[in-house]
Amino acid sequence: MGTDSITIFRGETAHLSNRVPVAPRLTKEFYEQEVAGIFRGGAWVSIASVQDFKEPGSYKVIELPTFKTSVLAVRGEDGELRVFHNVCRHRGDKLVHGGSGCKLRFTCGFHGWRYGANGELLSITDDTQFRGFKREEHGLLPVDSGVWQDLLYINLSKEHGTLEEWMGPLWNQYVNYGQGIEKVSEYRMVLRTNWNLAVNAFCEGYHNLFIHKNTVPDYQGGKGNPMRHRAYLEVGPHFGRYSAHGNQNHKATPAEAAVYAHGDKLFPWFPKTDPGALPQGMNPSHFPEWAFDIVHLFPNCVFNPQAHGYQYLWFWPIDADHTEIRVEAFFRKAPNPGARLAQAYSKVRLREVLREDLATMEAAHAAISSQALPYIVLSQQEMLIQNHYAAANRMLQAKGFNPPTLPSTVDPEWSAGVAAQ
């Protein structure tokens, strides 16, 4: 394997398996292990773009179904972005009931307790009736948080390392990718599927030749690459990423050509761009016919950088059978209203591609839950999925759990060859 492909493989692959028994991973019991061993077992999870917190007082309530909790993220007067449990210290009412906005004081609707944007309890009502009460001991409860470039992360595990350790080699490779960017779209939906299957659907490009024929029939591939193999594919401890091959013979549809005539060519049209102008981590192999990267930020986020913007897809497990999917798309700030029209065209093509992807995962969940399938089989092009399960297994095993595995059928010499690169 490997000689019949354009793909450059990188990373430690010896521990991966191309056969994964998925059905046992869809049970309620296994899901509880995943929450304990992964989400509360040390993982840093991203929850929002920092674009949502532009100025002092910018706040957003973020519901986290996986943790059965709600957090309040807010930028303080000192410029610091903090995350708190969204709960009043008095009797546990939800402090801010939802949404986002800009304010520096938060008042609980239940009894009027008032907090500052730095979490400090500023005042309580009828204070003479709280005997021996110390205001300074009852600020909002902080959540461990950190920022990686454009992403706000939290960690709800009792014991964990730093965000920098968690990000590993990605930490320094995407400097300033979120500069000069604005959000153009945001979608949410709850699907009847397990979160693993939802993440997996966005971590391989093998499907695009088949699934995306209605929306973007010719956006990927090119001469000598009929199966649209990834140009570059890398796996790491908490990430996997690949580069897609942009078809240089893409035929723009009439409206696409018309709205892109006056500015940048955007998705699904990928003219050659200078790889040296991008952050180091984007198009890591400097593939000349680059379309975009898919970066799986384990466990539950997929980051999709392109030359003119990026998307995040978050997959929030609700239970073993339901996942809330949140999608946000960003473009470089448009110079004029005409460029906004071009971006609107692109975001809708992306949205319709997304609707094709979403159509697969409920059926797969139902089919795999039937227990008929002993394991799923994964190609080399689906290595990010192999890596997802390996990363999960490593964390689960560290907590004493015993996730189901099957040995790989990939020749160990192949993995040794990749490791030697």
Partner 1 sequence: MSNEKSDLPTQLPAAFADLQPFAAEWALPSEQARYLKLHAVTLDQLRTFYEAVFPRIDAIVAHLNQYQRGQLPAEAMALYNLALTFTETSHPIDLRWRDVDFDDAYNWRAFGFVGPSATQTES
In the complex, which residues of this chain contact partner 1 (CB under 8 A)? 183-189, 214-215, 217, 253-256, 258-259, 261-262, 328, 334-338, 340-342, 344-345, 347-349, 352, 354-359
List the helix and strand counts (H, then E) for the chain.
8, 20
211: tokens are 């699934």
Least gap, CB of 100 to partner 1 (angstroms): 8
Cβ closest to partner 1, residue 303 vs residue 389: 303
Query: In 3-state terms, what secondary structure has residue 418?
Result: helix
Tell me the closest approach of the beta carbon of residue 266 to partner 1, in angstroms.
11
User: What's the CA gap between 281 and 419, in Å, rounded?
Assistant: 19
- State the CB neighbour count (10 A cutoff) for residue 348: 12
**Pick from 325, 324, 347: which is nearest to 334 by CA?**
347
Minimum gap (Å) between residue 356 Cβ and partner 1: 6
Which CB atom, from 44 or from 316, has the smaller least distance to partner 1? 316
| Three-state secondary-structure class, residue 366 | helix
The minimum distance between CB 201 and partner 1, in angstroms, equals 11
Residue nearer to partner 1 on the CB measure, 10 or 183: 183
Nearer to partner 1, 328 or 382 (CB): 328
Closest separation in Å from C-beta 341 to partner 1? 5
The structure tokens listed for 289 are 């016919």
In whole angstroms, how close is the CB of 225 to partner 1 at the nearest point? 23
Q: Which residue has the tokens 């920098």?
A: 164
Which value, in Å, is the radius of gyration of the alpha carbons in the chain? 23
- C-beta of 88: minimal distance to partner 1 in Å? 25
Of 184 and 392, nearer to partner 1 (C-beta) is: 184
Nearer to partner 1, 175 or 261 (CB): 261
In angstroms, what is the minimal distance from the CB of 73 to partner 1? 15
CB closer to partner 1 out of 189 and 227: 189
Check if the beta carbon of residue 80 is closer than 8 Å to that of residue 120: no
Both structure tokens of 39? 């989400």
Nearer to partner 1, 93 or 218 (CB): 218
Shortest Å, Cβ 36 to partner 1: 29
Closer by beta carbon to partner 1, 157 or else 247: 247
Task: Yes or no: say if 72 and 96 are a contact pair by the CB < 8 Å rule.
Answer: yes
Task: Identify the helix (H) or strand (E) that includes residue 75.
Answer: strand 69-75
Nearer Cβ to partner 1 (101/161) = 101
Strand residues in 158-251 grouped as ranges (E): 181-191, 232-236, 239-245
Instruction: Report whether 376 contacts 206 (CB < 8 A).
Output: no
Which lies closer to partner 1 via its Cβ, residue 105 or residue 333?
333
- Kindly state the smallest distance separating residue 309's Cβ from partner 1, in Å: 13
Token digits of residue 357? 């992807």
Q: Residue 84 Cβ, how far from partner 1 at the closest point, in Å?
A: 21
CA distance 223 to 79: 50
